[in-house]
Structure 1
């Protein structure tokens, strides 16, 4: 296996639209490959399922970017309050991770999330009420984006009217594309986000509500289970992570169905297949791409390949989830696929806390769209769809047409 790093060609529109032929080649070449990823960073790609599963639980692979030897990873974070940005459970390891995750885990259990179903359904129906009469829409801007933003805003107690502000700051900090980020822009966005969250938390201290941020303030002020920087970092993480990947799950899932009319027809005929279809969308073209970053605390060996201390290890879930050794016919979309234990939500102690909520939102959003938008079809040729180029994958826009009649307008759940 060649140790010369392969360049992932994010400047090539064909690769951005469909990276999977190159991913297949990388996996066939070997289980671990050095690669230059978005922004010119170098990482070791773990390309096969069993190796990826093991790596996500490897005791010497850290989630803390401070364990990385490449200084550019730290430099990409906001210069202002950089330590504060790092103090969230996504970037921490035990014991801090255990303590922080325990504070919010009860809000995301399957039982608690199931109680949100009527509200999520109501949001989906309201959004579709607004677009159905037009017979056409951009389903990202009008549906896939506002649905999870509204849900997480209500869960946290954030005014939904503020969503355009925090979406813009998030875009500036996270959705950077393929080029290295502008440090001044990232820092400015974080300053605005931190100021916003500080003001919001002060308001909730004065007038607490029945929401997750108010509960975290109690944990901070009365129970001393986290400090103020951790509170800010937790609020930021929950707000951003609560919607950003779910948008892509919904958008990519609908796009996949429109590209596979046979699967669309099967799902329309049997809506009971929807939970399994969500798992297949996550496996087939998940929202995190190429995968999940870890950092080697010491020299380690994965699949016989020596990886030096401080290296970035990218558990390439988008590649591993099409490993033919684990998934029969992995490049085929099959909404009835069985034993679909993908890596899109990670594995181990960092398994996505919001997975039950993302699944619920995906099921309701896609199921409601299929029921209420007969004749759903792309409004542009498939090769005109634009996809996010790195890190977080999904269609930037999803222009569609559909049939409108009185029966459609009244087919709410």
Structure 2
């Protein structure tokens, strides 16, 4: 019996980890839907999810992603590598991967630290970490990494807020400005390559076209919002688990391990982008017909007791991650190392200061585990 999950069920919205966990213990596949959406297949177990994410019979398509109403001249830059498959995807991935390696992420750390420090120094005594810290930080980092001029960065923060909303008029209205700024950044990078992402790509042996480089900046803006939700989820979780907070403060060297554990335990992704069956596929005894969508229920997968000991327990000392918070297979998140380093820097700086939660308001979002507000006394 394949369990069914309604995305409008208040219990699912309030506690997706329990709801998806019940489905996981019933079967490795579930059906997820809501009025006007679905139903779609959902992998609920770790082994099944890895199989789906690494199986070429399930593909990402342009219609996997939202296409907002934007001017025609911007559309050429919106077909990102995340939507590509096969040789085209492999070529781009090979070219850009060195610019996003773990080593390059560590190289960028000294440039992220002052961005974090400036935001923290500007916090009032009672601050909303979502509004005042976590939302502006990812766009500040992206601006630093692609060479957006300082005088334009406040505008890019506004773009980041609009893009983080995921849809709506503000989302669509932000795109022309992002594309114009990205084209200018690419032109500056070609004229005088800097020590940043675009500089790395200009110096690559196999050069990207202008359209490909602008598209990469757009992809960074889209996917680069993840740390905003991850950072605030992590702070809220640690404040709710003072024993784990104490362990981490006593040994800051645990931070890389802690970040992976926090991604596993309270990462923002609840359901992944849909993939579509290229042909009829039998998976876990179920027939998934050609063109039917399937997602990974990360909320269930990353707490699967078949893959993790005591998975519902937050343990910042947990060795090894194994989580699928950044995906798996050919489309493993390109910016995973950068997101980890950014989160490490942010949490290290935040936790060096006394924090007391005043108000925690969670967004009723069935696809993303995120906060609307996290007010703390600093």
How high is the TM-score relative to the length of structure 1?
Answer: 0.82
Tell me the equivalent position of 2:286.
305
Aligned partners of 2:159 and 2:174 also within 8 Å: yes
Residues 38-77 of structure 1: matches in 2 within 5 Å?
Answer: 40-65=37-62
CA distance in 1, matches of 2:49, 2:152: 38
Query: 2:72 aligns to what SS in structure 1?
Result: coil
The answer on 1:35 being equivalent to 2:32 is yes
The answer on 1:377 being equivalent to 2:356 is yes
Aligned partners of 1:157 and 1:211 also within 8 Å: yes
Tell me the CA shift for residue 147 of structure 1.
2.8
More displaced 10-residue stretch of structure 1: 119-128 or 190-199: 190-199
Tell me the CA shift for residue 274 of structure 1.
1.6
Tell me the CA shift for residue 85 of structure 1.
4.8
More displaced 10-residue stretch of structure 1: 299-308 or 134-143: 134-143
Change (3 A) 1:285 1:84: same
Aligned residues: 378
Tell me the CA shift for residue 135 of structure 1.
2.6
Change (3 A) 1:130 1:194: closer
More displaced 10-residue stretch of structure 1: 332-341 or 161-170: 161-170
Listed one character per residue, the Cα deviations across residues 278-297 of structure 1 (whole Å, up to 9, x for unaligned) are 11100011122223432211
The answer on 1:320 being equivalent to 2:317 is no
Match of 2:138 among 142, 148, 154: 148
Tell me the equivalent position of 1:20.
17
CA distance in 2, matches of 1:158, 1:293: 32
Residues 108-119 of structure 1: matches in 2 within 5 Å?
Answer: 108-119=100-111
Tell me the equivalent position of 2:368.
392
The answer on 1:294 being equivalent to 2:275 is yes
- Structure 2 residues without counterparts, runs of 5 or longer: none
Change (3 A) 1:188 1:151: closer
- Structure 1 residues without counterparts, runs of 5 or longer: 403-413
Tell me the CA shift for residue 75 of structure 1.
5.7
Query: 1:288 aligns to what SS in structure 2?
Result: coil
CA distance in 1, matches of 2:2, 2:20: 16
Change (3 A) 1:311 1:148: same
Match of 2:183 among 171, 193, 198: 198
Tell me the equivalent position of 2:5.
6
